[in-house]
């Protein structure tokens, strides 16, 4: 029997990123139109300012393409300036909820631009990070949203030891991002098997293991790795996406699978590359779904 799986996308697969100087940005109409043409049902919001922040405008725009909102990504400093983090979380949660979203995807930002440097935290700063994440969970819950912590390259929850420490110190669920976990040194399939009850949201990526190892060793910056093609369409890299999907489905996961291949478009990059790569990923995911 074919499983019912909810598939969404995110603007980052079209090169739309919050990092200054990341690359050429396609207009929202092109991105949302291509999502819809590929049969995607929903999208995450994308970086601040890319899509409208007014709820009525955002609902109208998404409705024009028959898309719904999954929720969105919030990379915010959690280990200091707690008041500022909570204010940003309140604004984002209110917007997501007003537009039908159900998840706030939280990342522990460093406060620096980009994802290539990570200052080390003290134990006191880590404790503040955990506390702030918990308070953001409460803010989101008041709006009817779930909060998940997203282990992410270049944040304070990236490497395997940090993922394990967060799981031990906080009750929050995880965004199981198959690419960022692998780059950080965590096997996403094994993590899903060990902590099935903590997987509350999924970002599907595939990754070249050779470039991931270079990033992990500090020999290659994350931004440069993206430019060199660290992310591939699903089924063309070294993440066992099929095993991960089977594992979380067997554990009862019923959330979204968000296709999110970090892409940077250079000045000469053809505009249709993101659409073609996403189409290949969707075809591979369809084969996995048919095998369930």
Measured CA to CA, the distance from residue 14 to residue 265 in angstroms comes to: 8
Mean pLDDT calculated for residue range 167-194:
96
Strand partners, 176: 202
Mean pLDDT calculated for residue range 5-30:
93
pLDDT at 1 over 50: no
| 10 assigned to some structural domain | yes
| 1 assigned to some structural domain | no
In degrees and rounded to multiples of 5, residue 158 shows phi and psi of: -130, -55
Give me the domain span that covers residue 143.
6-290
Give the model's confidence band at 45: pLDDT under 50 very low, under 70 low, under 90 confident, else very high. Answer: very high
Phi-psi sector, 186: left (phi>0), alpha (psi -120 to 50), beta: beta
| 156 assigned to some structural domain | yes
- Supply the pLDDT for residue 3: 58
| 122 assigned to some structural domain | yes
Closest CA to 181 of 40, 45, 198, 285: 198
| 114 assigned to some structural domain | yes
- In the numeric block, the tokens 């991960």 are attached to 244
| 201 assigned to some structural domain | yes
What are the Cα distances from residue 150, in Å, to 122, 143, 192? 20, 20, 14
Strand partners, 147: 104
For residue 71, give the H/E element and its range.
strand 68-77
Closest CA to 116 of 177, 175, 178, 158: 158
List all residues 6 or more positions away from 264 whose beta carbon is below 8 Å from its beta carbon.
Answer: 15, 17, 22, 23, 223, 226, 227
181-232 pLDDT, tens digit per residue, is 999 999 999 999 999 999 999 999 999 999 999 999 999 999 899 999 999 9
68-109 pLDDT, tens digit per residue, is 999 999 999 999 999 999 999 999 999 999 999 999 999 999
The SS3 assignment for 232 reads strand
- Asked whether the beta carbons of 126 and 173 are under 8 A apart, the reply is no
- Supply the pLDDT for residue 20: 86
| 166 assigned to some structural domain | yes
Give the model's confidence band at 32: pLDDT under 50 very low, under 70 low, under 90 confident, else very high. Answer: very high
* CATH code for the domain in which residue 159 is found: 3.20.20.150
- Supply the pLDDT for residue 14: 97
On the CB side of 290, CA atoms within 13 Å amount to: 6
pLDDT at 117 over 90: no
Mean pLDDT calculated for residue range 121-148:
98
| 243 assigned to some structural domain | yes
- Supply the pLDDT for residue 112: 87
Total domains in the chain come to 1
């Amino acid at each position: 029997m074919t499983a019912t799986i909810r598939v969404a996308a995110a603007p980052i697969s079209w090169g739309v990123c919050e990092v200054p100087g990341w690359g050429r940005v396609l207009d929202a109409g092109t991105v949302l139109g291509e999502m819809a043409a590929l049969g995607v049902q929903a999208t995450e919001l994308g970086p601040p300012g890319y899509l409208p922040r007014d709820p009525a405008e955002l609902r109208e725009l998404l409705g024009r393409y028959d898309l719904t909102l999954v929720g969105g990504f919030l990379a915010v400093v959690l280990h200091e300036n707690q008041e500022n983090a909570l204010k940003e979380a309140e604004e984002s949660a209110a917007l997501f909820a007003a537009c039908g979203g159900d998840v706030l995807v939280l990342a522990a930002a460093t406060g620096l631009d980009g994802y290539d440097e990570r200052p080390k935290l003290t134990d006191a700063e880590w404790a503040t990070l955990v506390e702030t994440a918990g308070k953001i969970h409460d803010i989101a819950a008041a709006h009817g949203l779930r909060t998940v912590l997203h282990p992410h390259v270049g944040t304070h929850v990236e490497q395997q030891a940090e993922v394990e420490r967060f799981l031990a110190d906080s009750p929050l669920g995880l965004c199981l991002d198959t690419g960022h976990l692998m780059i950080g040194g965590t096997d996403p399939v094994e993590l899903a098997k060990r902590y099935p009850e903590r997987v509350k949201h999924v970002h599907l990526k595939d990754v070249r293991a050779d470039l991931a190892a270079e990033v992990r060793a500090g020999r290659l910056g994350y931004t440069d790795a993206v430019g060199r093609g660290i992310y591939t369409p699903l089924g063309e890299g070294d993440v066992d996406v099929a095993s991960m999907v089977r594992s979380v489905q067997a554990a009862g996961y019923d959330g979204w699978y968000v296709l999110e291949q970090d892409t940077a478009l250079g000045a000469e990059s053809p505009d249709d590359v993101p659409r073609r790569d996403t189409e290949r990923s969707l075809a591979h995911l369809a084969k996995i779904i048919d095998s369930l």
